[in-house]
Structure 1
Amino acid sequence: MVQKYQSPVRVYKHPFELVMAAYERRFPKCPQMPIVLDCEIIKDEILDHGARRNTSRRCKLAVDAPYLFKKIIGVDVVYFMQTNYLDLANRTLSIEATNETFSSRIEIFERCRYYVHPDNPDWTCFDQTATLDIKNFFGFENSMEKMGMKQYTQTTLKGREIIEYFIDQLKSEGVTHIERWKASDETIPSELSPIKLTDEADTSDMLDGDFIAKHLGNLSPMQESKLLEFHKLCKTTSGIDKCPTYQTLLRFLRARDFNVEKAMLMLKESLVWRADNNIDELLKEYKMPHVILKHFPGSWHHQDKDGRPMYILRLGHMDVKGLLKAVGEEGLLKLSLHICEEGMQLIQESAIHLGKPVLSWCLLVDLEGLSMRHLWRPGIKVLLKIIETVEKNYPETMGRVLVVRAPRVFPIAWTIVSTFIDENTRSKFLFYGGPDCLHMKDGLEQYIDSQIIPDFLGGPCKTLIHEGGLVPKTLYKMNSEEEAQNGAPPHEHHNLYKTVDVRPGCIHEVVIKNNDPKSVLTWDFDVINSDLYFTLYRTTADLPAKNDSSTSFFDLSGFEEGKNYFREEPSTICRHKESVQGSHVMNSADTYVMHWFSPASSSSSSGPAQLMYFYEVLSSANYKGSMTSLQSGCSALSVASSCQSR
């Protein structure tokens, strides 16, 4: 496999001629680079009356490898051929190097360039590329690749230091300026232009090393190389109209362990998603629903000690079910994406303000109040979808997650959710259990300045975070009677909840054909505006088509209770504004019917009952008493039905 390396641009804030004088002092030996044992000049020619100089050297290098490895390959030193093409007229130096030793087994090619900075003629730029192709090396191909690239990257790190060292040495000797080469009328005929053996330096795609330090932080030479490769690939890939920022590219690279091909696939899918969902306009167009403003317990709050914007979420105070029923799955997802977009903007602002790299944000999660009601399957499913969407499209934006006041039930929730979180992200979670705010406050001060620790955690700082609390059922999304009369379809939260009107004297039935004995039927529903009776039936007969909402399947001729249909759960009255959750083991491969009936008269209201319901069938293979199959409100594994008022 061919290994490739490309460096970012290194900028020397010195003129080209002074850098060249420093470069020449590296030969034949350089104390700062002991791996180079000697360099012998094979050919040295001056061309065009001094305008160009071509120099070839045979360089002797020590093998930086374990003693046993050197004995196996039978050498202690290796030889490289290096050719320099110096163009004083155009102020460029191109260097090409190839291996002489083991050339039939290994191909190494390196190219370096020194050239004048495009914006400042008194500065000099440097970049390099290299390839390593090991065809056959005594069965040590993989080890040799790793060792070769490791040694190469270590050597490149020293290059800039060495040039600066020799420039300082020249200055100590009184050499601070070297005149540029100038052609005279006698040396080069006017009709001849300078001959160039190398390409012009193309800086349009190059990444400045100073930019890396200021905006991206510490990167290894190989990481820098992969970032450059990714950037160039983006600029030449169809379907990408505008190449993302280096910060964005770096995040996608990190999410795919600096595999450029995998990062490109991930980026392209994310760009399509952003375009399809108009994400670039989300900050301008998103209007936060009233129920979110009043009942969502989360907000941005200053920065942590590393300058990361910090978001606080009081998850234990959140009515997940109420919010989901009020704004739907799409509403919670859009809120989460809006927070992510705000985070990206705040990251950029923080980096500019601090003048240092800030690439991620911090999340502080308060779990006080977390209980089994939060382990509600529909809510967990929505949470997992949000996590999946965020990790696909905002990779490596979470710098640290501080989880505080984690109760005993938290390990159950963490077991469910953590398997869907990227391993790199999981490693950023720090947990503080128990209710002791004072002890926890001491731990938080490692990451958050004491002056901005929230008051609800024992700190002095007030926050703008709402307390959350139960969402009034009057804010749930329901179809109005007028909408129903106009033929509006039932409101659906992306097929999670369905809403129907059940008029007095009418019924609503859901048919579930079960082909998996021992599977578990779970349900969750709310009754608004009236009362309903709920019953679960099972039938061994085929059910005919039925359009009459006032008649049950089992009112039809040919159906006899106890013979071909059975009450699996007794009829239970569910009162106005009541929330009901339950489950039932479907032991038979029969048809089950969820049946709701609205009595002809109700003390609660004269209008139709509004039913918002969700159900799910858990397969017998997956339902082994696992915690993920608990219905809302249960505190023990039970296969019996339960009706509970929230």
Structure 2
Amino acid sequence: MAPVSLGLSDDQRFALMKLRRNVSDLTRPDRDDQYLLRWLRARNYDPEAAEKMLRTSLQWREQWSVDQILSDWEPPEVLQKYFPSGICGYDKGGAPVIVVPFAGLDIWGLLHSATRSDFIRMTIKTLEHLLKVAQEQKQKHNATRAEVVAIIDMDGFSIRPYAWRPAGEAVIALIQMYEANYPEILKACYIINAPKVFSLAFSIVKPFLNDYTLRKISIYKNDPGKWKKALLDNIDPDELPVHFGGTMTDPGGDEQCTLKVKPGGRVPKSYYFKKVEKNGDDPFFNSSTTVVKKGDKLCLKFLVLEEGSMLKWEFSSEGHDIKFGILRRDEEGSETTTVPIHRVNCHLAAETGSLPCSGPATYTVVFDNTYSYLRSKKLHYSIEVKPPANGVLECDSLQ
């Protein structure tokens, strides 16, 4: 196939030619030059880095049977009913528009009604369907790229469920999966009705997003006049539900078009696994083990929502000490040190402690091994945020 030259510099065409040659063993009809350019753009036109990213992704696709997931995998009923998302229509260039009512994602309920693997597979299936539609639209409109548009509605969003660490970890894992395996498919992302606390949540996930993704994201507060205009600049009214400024309704007159866009919602307890353990015995809350490499540090972020919450920790290392400290960042982005970073002889005895916290804020627990140029440190740790005695996190009420 002749190289794609439109819009490419000489260096970029050379990088494409080199990548095409290096991955000639992966040739398939759907892996054309535009497909290869996705990986090159994601790696700043470094053909070696793009090749590594592509091969790693293809291994991931094989491990998760991604090529068969649309035809062979049937999601559990709870995910079919309560996983919020749906394609409402197409933008002016023909790209499919997916709407995600994020507040409808009952992360606690889903992770106690479906396995983590099935939760991941449901996300993969959603992305693969979206990409399939984008490919069909590309051919229909003779477009250059297969791209998608996302509208993420944060109306009614609460950060509270994501103070439960497995929930936050699940979201970050999905972001990392998307960035590693679906580069350059995003045409535009509109995050609308973002509450003030959203800036705190976004500051946590932002480091996991690549620059090329961040450039496509536009964030709007609860100002319908502004975000509706932005949507209508790129999406015709008849391709957009009335709720988002368009003219589309369901046959029954539903202005949010919930027949097309599943709203999610609270998962009924009847879907829960037969035995939902107490926090202390729940496998989600087991201690973790990692290696902090020499000259490196481990930073763990925790959301604190209420005054009087307690950040509790216990950790130990093998063979040698490590530095430990805690930082606090408030909604305005101001950062202070609550526990100065200092060396702890946790290789001699486990270190335990607690810290009264105020929120909303992000507390970052730091294990610092930058002072060690010779030794990596194996670390065992268990850290969690406990709400105040008179305060109950949403997940705590689900026994």
Say whether the fold is shared (TM-score over 0.5): yes
Per the alignment, residue 207 of structure 1 pairs with: 2
SS in 1 for 2:274: coil
Q: Name the CA distance, whole Å, in 1 between partners of 2:125 and 2:178.
A: 11
Per the alignment, residue 348 of structure 1 pairs with: 135
Q: Name the CA distance, whole Å, in 1 between partners of 2:136 and 2:66.
A: 19
Alignment of 1:40-439 (within 5 A): 206-207=1-2, 212=4, 218-235=7-24, 240=26, 242=28, 244-376=31-163, 377-434=165-222, 436-439=223-226
SS in 2 for 1:406: coil
Q: Name the CA distance, whole Å, in 2 between partners of 1:627 and 1:474.
A: 38
Question: Any gaps of 5 or more consecutive residues in structure 1?
Answer: 1-205, 481-490, 499-509, 513-519, 524-581, 591-618, 629-633
Q: Name the CA distance, whole Å, in 2 between partners of 1:620 and 1:473.
A: 43
CA contact (8 A) 1:370 1:409 kept: no
Compared CA separation, residues 589 and 443, structure 1 to 2 (3 A): closer
TM-score with structure 2 length normalisation? 0.69
Q: Name the CA distance, whole Å, in 1 between partners of 2:44 and 2:90.
A: 28
CA contact (8 A) 2:232 2:245 kept: no
Residue identity matched to 1:220: S
CA contact (8 A) 1:308 1:358 kept: no
Cα RMSD after superposing both structures: 3.6
| 1:625 counterpart = 2:328 | yes
Q: Name the CA distance, whole Å, in 2 between partners of 1:439 and 1:413.
A: 22
**Distance apart, 1:375 and its partner CA:** 3.2
SS in 1 for 2:112: helix
Q: Name the CA distance, whole Å, in 1 between partners of 2:325 and 2:270.
A: 36
Residue identity matched to 2:261: I
TM-score with structure 1 length normalisation? 0.44
CA contact (8 A) 2:147 2:186 kept: yes
| 1:476 counterpart = 2:222 | no
SS in 2 for 1:312: strand
Q: Name the CA distance, whole Å, in 2 between partners of 1:392 and 1:249.
A: 14
For residues 192-241 of structure 1, what are the alpha-carbon distances to aligned partners after superposition, in whole Å with 9 as ceiling and x for unaligned?
xxxxxxxxxxxxxx416xxx48xxx6333432332222112211x5xx47
Compared CA separation, residues 255 and 306, structure 1 to 2 (3 A): same
Higher relative CO (Cα under 8 Å, sequence separation at least 6) belongs to: 2
CA contact (8 A) 1:406 1:433 kept: yes
Q: Name the CA distance, whole Å, in 2 between partners of 1:373 and 1:452.
A: 33
- Match for residue 446 of structure 1 among 233, 243, 259: 233
**Distance apart, 1:626 and its partner CA:** 4.4
**Distance apart, 1:378 and its partner CA:** 1.9
CA contact (8 A) 1:317 1:368 kept: no
For residues 287-335 of structure 1, what are the alpha-carbon distances to aligned partners after superposition, in whole Å with 9 as ceiling and x for unaligned?
1221122222210121112221111101022212212222232222111
Compared CA separation, residues 622 and 386, structure 1 to 2 (3 A): farther
Residue identity matched to 1:383: V
Determine which structure has the larger helix proportion and give its number: 2
CA contact (8 A) 1:452 1:459 kept: yes
SS in 2 for 1:419: helix
Q: Name the CA distance, whole Å, in 1 between partners of 2:192 and 2:323.
A: 36
For residues 596-627 of structure 1, what are the alpha-carbon distances to aligned partners after superposition, in whole Å with 9 as ceiling and x for unaligned?
xxxxxxxxxxxxxxxxxxxxxxx994633346
For residues 543-574 of structure 1, what are the alpha-carbon distances to aligned partners after superposition, in whole Å with 9 as ceiling and x for unaligned?
xxxxxxxxxxxxxxxxxxxxxxxxxxxxxxxx
- Match for residue 262 of structure 2 among 442, 466, 480: 466
Per the alignment, residue 585 of structure 1 pairs with: 312
Alignment of 1:12-51 (within 5 A): none
For residues 55-100 of structure 1, what are the alpha-carbon distances to aligned partners after superposition, in whole Å with 9 as ceiling and x for unaligned?
xxxxxxxxxxxxxxxxxxxxxxxxxxxxxxxxxxxxxxxxxxxxxx
Q: Name the CA distance, whole Å, in 2 between partners of 1:386 and 1:307.
A: 26
Q: Name the CA distance, whole Å, in 2 between partners of 1:288 and 1:298.
A: 14
SS in 1 for 2:157: coil
Q: How many residue pairs are counted as aligned between the two chains?
A: 312
Residue identity matched to 2:229: D
